[in-house]
Structure 1
């Protein structure tokens, strides 16, 4: 799941950067980006917000997976937690392409279900 999440991160970066380039132009992309620019709108804005959201949670997920592995506490619960993280991120990513922005906000609640991976590290096997 860690490798799949890395691929998803790469896809986030590519789509967000290309959508920003389409909206602002490739001269902006190639510039030093020192000037103030208005915020991205529409799909480009949603992709940028999804990328920022992913970047906020991904380092903690990587650390949790690494610590579970280093501590030798890999169980079906930790695998389930990693799979749930990836699945929730995939649903969130897909919802950014939705024409219904409220779906993107409601899928954020799935992050509450991502905690079993962290619980496994803290509490040990059940």
Structure 2
């Protein structure tokens, strides 16, 4: 969706061009969505290895399955509330995702 905003603000050719310091700014919601996207990518770097390690050691419990589902939905919620500009809910959604990752990390050591 923020690419659509970029096309609206800069035009189609401007949206497809290389970024420049002189580009017109995005709408506030689009800027927040880009930050949320960056944050999701940064957290995927933590989440993916945890899941791959658990897959490699062939360890799956109801806790690990639930943690993956909770992580996914917390990231969806994080994107939505970040885009809407709701800082307290954004922090809550991030924290829920963090604890889901913590459960996965504990599962590697077969604590959960």
Normalised by the length of structure 2, the TM-score is 0.79
Deviation digits for residues 68-109 of structure 1 (CA, Å, limit 9, x no counterpart): 0111111112112111111210111221343x4323344333
Per the alignment, residue 9 of structure 1 pairs with none
1:39 deviates by 5.0
Matched, 1:101 2:86: yes
Partners of 1:106 and 1:125 in 2: CA distance? 25
Count of residue correspondences? 109
1: CA distance, partners of 2:5 / 2:68: 29
Q: Is it true that 1:116 corresponds to 2:88 in the alignment? A: no
- Give the corresponding residue for 2:35: 49
Moved beyond 3 Å, runs of 4+: 37-41
CA offsets 1:17-43 (integer angstroms, 9 cap, x no match):
22333333322222232x213653411
Structure 2: give runs of 5+ residues left out of the alignment.
none
Could you give the per-residue CA deviations for residues 6-25 of structure 1, whole angstroms, max 9, x where no partner exists? xxxxxxxxx23223333333
Q: Match of 2:77?
A: 91
Q: How well do the aligned residues superpose, as a CA RMSD in angstroms?
A: 2.1
The answer (yes or no) to whether the contact 1:19–1:43 under 8 Å persists in 2 is no
Please say if residues 80 and 117 of structure 1, whose CA atoms lie closer than 8 Å, have aligned partners that are also in contact: no
